[in-house]
Chains A and B, each alone.
Chain A
Amino acid sequence: MSKQINVALIGNPNTGKTSVFNALTGLNQKVGNYPGITVEKKEGVCKLPRGVKAHIIDLPGTYSLNASSLDESVVIELLLNQNNKDFPDIAVVVTDVENLKRNLLIFTQIKDLQIPTILVINMADRMSYKGISLDIEHLEKELQTKIALVSTRKKQGIDELKQLISNYKDVSVKPCLDIASIDVTYFENLKKTFPNQLMYKLWLVITQDVNFGKVDRNEVDAVADFKTKTNADLKRLQQKETIKRYQFINNVLKVGQTIDVTQAKDLRTKFDRILTHKFWGYIIFFAILLLIFQAIYDWATVPMDFIDASFASLSEWLANLLPDGAFTSLLTEGIIPGLGGIVIFIPQIAFLFLFISILEESGYMSRVVFLMDRVMRRFGLSGKSVVPLISGTACAIPAIMATRNIESWKERLITILVTPFTTCSARLPVYLIIIALVIPEGRFLGLSYQALTLMLLYLIGFGTAVISAYILNKVLQIKSKSFFVVEMPNYKLPLFKNVVLTVVEKTKAFVFGAGKIILAISIVLWFLASYGPGEQFNNAEEIVKTQFASQNLSDEELQNKITSHKLEHSFIGITGRAIEPVIRPLGYDWKIGIAIVSSFAAREVFVGTLATIYSVGSDDEETIKNRMAGEVNPILGGPLFNFASGISLLLFYAFAMQCMSTLAVVKRETNSWKWPSLQLALMSSFAYIVALIAFQLLK
Chain B
Amino acid sequence: MQDTLAHLKRGEDAIITDVSSIHIPLKLLEMGCLPGNSVKLVQVAPFQDPMYLNINGSHLAIRKETAAHILIEKVTNE
Contact = CB atoms under 8 A, between A and B. Distances in A.
Interface of A: 63-64, 66, 68, 98-99, 101-102, 105, 232, 235-236, 238-239, 242-243, 246, 268-269, 272-273, 276-278, 366, 369-371, 373-374, 377, 383, 407, 481, 483-490
A149 B62 CA distance: 32
Given A371-B45, A374-B49, A68 B61 contact: no
Contact of B27 (A63, A276, A366): A63
A377 B49 CA distance: 11
A485 B45 contact: no
Given A101-B32, A370-B50, A488 B60 contact: yes
A486 B45 contact: no
Given A246-B34, A485-B31, A487-B59, A235 B50 contact: no
Contacts of A235: 22, 26
A232 B47 contact: no
B58 A102 contact: yes
Residue among A98, A383, A485 with the highest chain B CB neighbour number at 10 A: A485
Given A239-B19, A239-B20, A272-B43, A484 B30 contact: no
Interface in B9-27: 19-20, 22, 25-27
Contacts of B50: 370, 373-374, 383, 484, 486
A63 B31 contact: yes
Nearest to B35: A243
A490 B35 CA distance: 24
Contact of A489 (B29, B45, B59, B66): B59
Nearest to A490: B59
12 contacts: A99-B58, A238-B26, A272-B43, A273-B43, A276-B43, A278-B44, A373-B63, A374-B50, A483-B63, A485-B25, A486-B62, A487-B31
Contacts of B57: 98-99, 101
Contacts of A99: 57-58
Given A63-B31, A239-B20, A278-B45, 17 more contacts: A63-B27, A64-B27, A98-B57, A235-B22, A243-B29, A268-B59, A276-B45, A370-B50, A370-B61, A377-B63, A483-B27, A485-B31, A485-B61, A486-B50, A486-B61, A487-B31, A488-B60
Contacts of A239: 19-20, 26, 29
B31 A374 contact: no
B45 A370 contact: yes
B68 interface: no
B75 interface: no
B27 A488 contact: no
A642 B61 CA distance: 52
